[in-house]
Chains A and B, each alone.
Chain A
């Protein structure tokens, strides 16, 4: 079926708008209330968003070029790496997680493992020097338990 992207997204938008509206109806009302209240504006927003979703279903645009096989895998690896990096940055210190994450990203763009290793190491140490000593941000090079 052509133009599936917009139709599917329109459905998601409608469902999201409905959920948002239901959630808005459950907002607690304070003892000091004004004529508009806490619910009206979010309900208007949900209403218009739902309408837009319906229009996307009824009048969809042409499908974009969605990524295929290897690109999806690359994107998946990239997103997983970034989530891992976000979780590792605090307990793992700056240097090691940054080197690994930037190495993996670089490897996704240029499939050369040795080069990725070099780029990861250089970026990690270079950025650490700039952030820590030139800009004075409070970053830890290594996990704190090493320093203790």
Chain B
């Protein structure tokens, strides 16, 4: 009953014409951003946060707009995977394996419709599961004290770092970089400056939006300039778009299985949508066996990863909303948005700001239907986006990033800092050092330190207090396992051939 009341509250907010309009705009922008090769959901949301913020939208409206962009980008990522064999974003990587062969054999329209429908099913399942699971997890999170939160942050860094990189030392270094940067500014407890070098600009700390836009968007621009323009649209004919009912019915169990597995992958901190699509594709491939002909352009090979990654995108919102710990790069960016809006995610969010949580969940439900409408009958519009030449797109993205940050602070210092983060992101990505843990470190660093200090005050300096409750011990065990498991998993799972 409580769930229905909450959803009623959510829909009352989400169905207002204003919120609905924001959801439609967000879905449209998101699908466009997702469709562009290289500009994934994290980049898209990162670029748009400063602009949304300077528009003065209230918390619910800003959240609805940007999560619609997030969901839209997850839908849109498949378009360039299928038509160009270049994933629009990392989670859409697996869709290239069967999507592109389908397009080459003249079934581009079918592949787009099947994957669009799969995205819808995945997202629908995940949003319903989010509404059911999140409040339960929020109740458990009430049991968390400073020792548990410290262990939880550790778990987030361990798993995110562990899974995001091929080299644990580099992943750990990325987390430390973020945590180190977070220490810059006035100390929360004493009010005294740390690592500022006497520069007044740094007394408030480094704005995470500056870091996010630099590390994600600008580094992408630098990589693109270095490559000298690697993406050129090739002329695959889309043909007439009809709904391939037979394929959709044939993939029904694939869709259901992939949605469940994808959601679980998304909920795990650090795993995210890429793991969701990878696991579901591999699972369906092994279920189908050799007769399934995965990799040659079959409907199931397109449906599984798309249902999986879209479901994981919804799942990743669960730890972000209930614990304040993001499950992926994009949810880290969304966490930055919440913090900018002075909303602290965590169990109290459900009690204190139900309108934000349930408004968001209801908007996601609506956005999903809007996205289905946009991505099946209107898919042609987004296919056109692929023909925007990089010589226009890249300067455009750069200028939007600059104006976004400039409109927030009006200071050249932040812009120069953003360029510095862009260069850092470029070097990190060249050296295969993941950038998401850096962002997570900047976002969570101060809270992690605060919780450690609070735990030590409570225990009068006794460090064993950090392992004093079963929940804390469990989280420590998961953290160690999460950090070390990839050593073994990498030997077991090999990335299939043919991924560009």
- Which residues of A does B touch, CB under 8 Å? 5-6, 9, 13, 20, 23-24, 27-30, 32-36, 38, 41-42, 45-46, 48-49, 51-53, 55-56, 59, 61, 64, 66-67, 71, 74-75, 78-79, 82-83, 85-87, 89-90, 94, 98, 101-103, 105-106, 108-110, 115-116, 119-120, 123-124, 127, 131, 135-139
Contact = CB atoms under 8 A, between A and B. Distances in A.
B180 A46 contact: yes
Given A38-B189, A78-B225, A109-B224, A49 B176 contact: yes
A44 to B, nearest CB: 9
B456 A34 contact: yes
A46 to B, nearest CB: 7
Most chain B CB inside 10 Å of its own CB: which residue of A32, A49, A83: A49
Given A49-B173, A119-B392, A123-B399, A83 B187 contact: no
A139 B180 contact: no
A71 B226 contact: yes
A21 to B, nearest CB: 10
Interface of B: 51, 54-55, 166-167, 169-170, 172-173, 176-177, 179-180, 183, 187, 189-192, 194-195, 218, 221-222, 224-229, 389-392, 394-396, 398-400, 402-403, 406-407, 410, 412, 415-416, 418-419, 422-423, 427, 430-432, 448-449, 452-453, 456-457, 460-461
Question: For chain A, what secondary structure do more than half of its interface residues adopt (helix, strand, loop), or is it mixed?
Answer: helix
Q: Most chain-B CB neighbours within 10 Å: which of A9, A27, A41?
A: A41
B453 A36 contact: yes
Given A49-B177, A87-B412, A127 B396 contact: yes
B229 A109 contact: yes
A6 to B, nearest CB: 7
Contacts of A48: 172, 176
Contacts of B422: 82
A106 B392 contact: yes
A110 B187 contact: no
Contact of A30 (B54, B189, B225): B189
A109 B390 contact: yes
Nearest to B52: A135
B145 to A, nearest CB: 16
A52 B172 CA distance: 7
A102 B392 CA distance: 8
Helix, strand, loop or mixed for chain B's interface?
Answer: helix
Contacts of A42: 180, 183, 194-195
A49 to B, nearest CB: 4
A60 B176 CA distance: 19
A139 B392 CA distance: 22
A135 B169 CA distance: 44
15 contacts: A24-B195, A27-B187, A27-B194, A29-B190, A38-B187, A42-B183, A42-B195, A51-B169, A61-B170, A89-B402, A106-B395, A109-B390, A135-B54, A137-B407, A139-B403
Contacts of B402: 82, 85-86, 89
B453 A123 contact: no
Given A36-B453, A109-B394, 16 more contacts: A30-B187, A32-B189, A36-B452, A45-B180, A45-B183, A53-B173, A66-B430, A82-B218, A86-B418, A87-B412, A102-B396, A105-B221, A109-B228, A123-B392, A124-B399, A127-B396
